[in-house]
Chains A and B, each alone.
Chain A
Amino acid sequence: MRSKIKASKDLSLAVAKTVAETAAKHHAEIRLLYRDKVANAKSLMGVVALSYKKGAELILVAEGKDATRATDDVKALL
């Protein structure tokens, strides 16, 4: 599952933390892409490394049995 997201706020440590925590609750593997960077959404530092700003075009790729729910949950945080 692949979806495009326009970031509604700057990436902060707090955002990265909730993203990693939420992603970790799902079985699905979740990747976040921004420009030439890729992060495992379950990894706090990985998400921080994306260092995007409000309005950035992100791509979320999720695969696994709960991919749809995982996508919705993570999407709501960005």
Chain B
Amino acid sequence: MLGKYNRAKEEGVASAVLAADFASTLGLTPVVMKEGEELHFTTSAVCRPGLFLAGYEKFFAASRVIVFGSAEMSFAMSLEKAVLTERLERMCALGVPCIVIARGIQPTAEFIAAAEKHAVPLFTTREITGKVGTDITNFITDALAEEITMHAVLVDVAGMGVLLTGVSGIGKSEVALELVHRGHRLVADDSVIIKRKGNILVGRAPDMIRHMLEIRGVGIINVERMFGSVAVRVNKSVDAVFELVTWEEGKTYERLGSETLTEDILGVTLPKLEIPVKAGRNLFVVIEAAVASLRLKEMGYSAPNELEERLKSNK
């Protein structure tokens, strides 16, 4: 059996970020940057280079994005030009991914020369230093986040991101269509790209097939065109996994709802339900009920527990 998860990374594909994308997403102005240049990040932390500028190089983290604020810039300006040039060149030669100067302060000729000499991209921004640092960390965390593609359907059911899994042809897309009809929202059909952000998973559709749905017997439909923009969303947290399984006579399915299965995706544990598919069973109703039931459970209510209590107090 192949793993359920298709890990693109396992196949040896690495990702890099275009310097131009980094700049436009974070609202930075490029001062030194080559066209098509890529940035390679290994850590999401940033470095304020005060100590390095003062000549203390021990523990300097050259893998971090260097952020200059007012303090560092004012200290740099107090240095003799030759000393500043030497230290900036040392910094760039160590292979820092890029340098960002905050608070709208413009780099002097020494900065530009050192950056150009060692091909280190240099950016400026009007933002305050602390915010730039946080923004960069968030951006890199996102860029470094592990990603997988799953053969599944992702629907936002009453605010809960439900990942419908199950073998080809079991009717995942048909259930998605029913749910959209009931006012829920489609995120992705057939192929869901899932990314881990901190402790939450976020799913989206591959751009090429976004909001398209294949319904056997009907063909390909554009859900957004058919049901309007309120019937779709671009991304959604993945909160639960519902696996559609073929109804087998004699097999025992969850009867009480007191136990919850779980499934691990990218190291995040999600509640999981096995939903048997049988002709004449309205699946969307079952799925809506399952979502409501999971939510009640999260809020601390359990119907089987209450039933148990009623049995006990029955004299």
Contacts and interface: CB of A to CB of B under 8 A. Distances in A.
Contacts of B8: 33, 36-38
Nearest to A42: B168
B264 to A, nearest CB: 19
Contacts of B151: 40, 43, 46
Contacts of A61: 2
Interface string B192-210: 0000000000000010110
Interface residues of A, number: 21
B11 A46 contact: no
Contacts of B208: 48-49, 51
A39 B191 contact: yes
Interface in A1-44: 24, 29, 31, 33, 35-40, 42-44
B13 A35 contact: yes
B149 A37 contact: yes
A37 B13 CA distance: 9
A45 interface: yes
Interface residues of B, number: 23
Contacts of B191: 39-40, 43, 45-46, 49
B138 interface: no
B189 interface: yes
Contacts of B6: 31, 33, 38-40
B11 A59 contact: yes
B2 A31 contact: yes
B260 interface: no
A29 B2 contact: yes
Contact of B206 (A24, A37, A44, A59): A37
10 contacts: A29-B1, A35-B13, A36-B13, A39-B149, A40-B168, A43-B168, A43-B190, A45-B213, A48-B208, A49-B190
Interface of A: 24, 29, 31, 33, 35-40, 42-46, 48-49, 51, 59, 61, 63
* Top 3 A-B residue pairs of the complex, sorted by shortest distance between their CB atoms: A38-B6, A49-B206, A45-B190
